Homo-oligomer: A and B are copies of this chain.
């Protein structure tokens, strides 16, 4: 049990935690499990006293950030959390434009279109438009996934040196869900190739039946801050994949800031 691993900031797990830290741990635990959870379970997961969690969850419930789900004992995100999130999405110009692009892409292609980004040293799906086809591939928004499992992840690291990359990614994240190991050298080479080509494709990487196509959205410094991504069955026709990738690259370039000419 990897109880108190604070991902984003390496802070020494003290014996006595700050209430805000505890609250954040609760929220992140719920995001990770992606399902309503009892307070006792939460306490176990994050290694905190139950009494502490009861008082904090009650306060968060009172504020509407959490809600009691169903009739018994589990809590999950509440309506206030939704309002906070909408405030973010509405205020963030890049995010707004990406949403429109997703709408367009999903509408035109009937494939699952996603907006992806980093969260700490993991990959997350930030937004998605699920495709309409029979093979409706869906992904949970916000669930953290090891970067080497994804096409987007390769693009999102393409401003880093090999050393930085290896330092950034936890060793265990190179192991795929089926047990295979992604070789560090291959991974670094993948990233260089993705950067050179301005896109990335993976076939049956994190899942044997899916193909991921990704294109980077870059800020003015040229750093990939997010990716647009299609998820389609791995056996889709090559020309369809090519067509999808072209659309993706085009949209992602429109969303990118124009690069700043060297100083």
Residues on A lying within 8 angstroms of B by beta carbon are 1-2, 6-9, 18-21, 23-24, 27-28, 30-31, 34-36, 56, 59-60, 62-65, 67-71, 76-91, 95, 117, 119, 124, 126-127, 140-142, 261-263
Q: Least Cβ distance of A124 to chain B in Å? A: 7
Measured between beta carbons, the chain B residues less than 8 angstroms from A82 are 85, 88-89, 95, 126
Copies of this chain present in the complex amount to: 2
Is B76's CB under 8 angstroms from A81's CB?
Answer: no
Is A65's CB under 8 angstroms from B24's CB?
Answer: yes
Is A262's CB under 8 angstroms from B19's CB?
Answer: no
Majority secondary structure of chain A interface residues (helix, strand, loop or mixed): mixed
Q: Least Cβ distance of A255 to chain B in Å? A: 16
Return the contact of A34 from the options B18, B59, B87 (Cβ within 8 A): B87
Is B6's CB under 8 angstroms from A64's CB?
Answer: yes
Is B84's CB under 8 angstroms from A31's CB?
Answer: yes
If A20-B20, A77-B84, A82-B85 are given as contacts, then 17 extra A-B residue pairs at C-beta distance below 8 Å, sorted by A number, are A2-B79, A8-B62, A9-B62, A18-B59, A19-B19, A21-B59, A30-B84, A31-B80, A34-B87, A79-B117, A81-B87, A81-B88, A84-B85, A85-B86, A85-B89, A87-B142, A90-B140
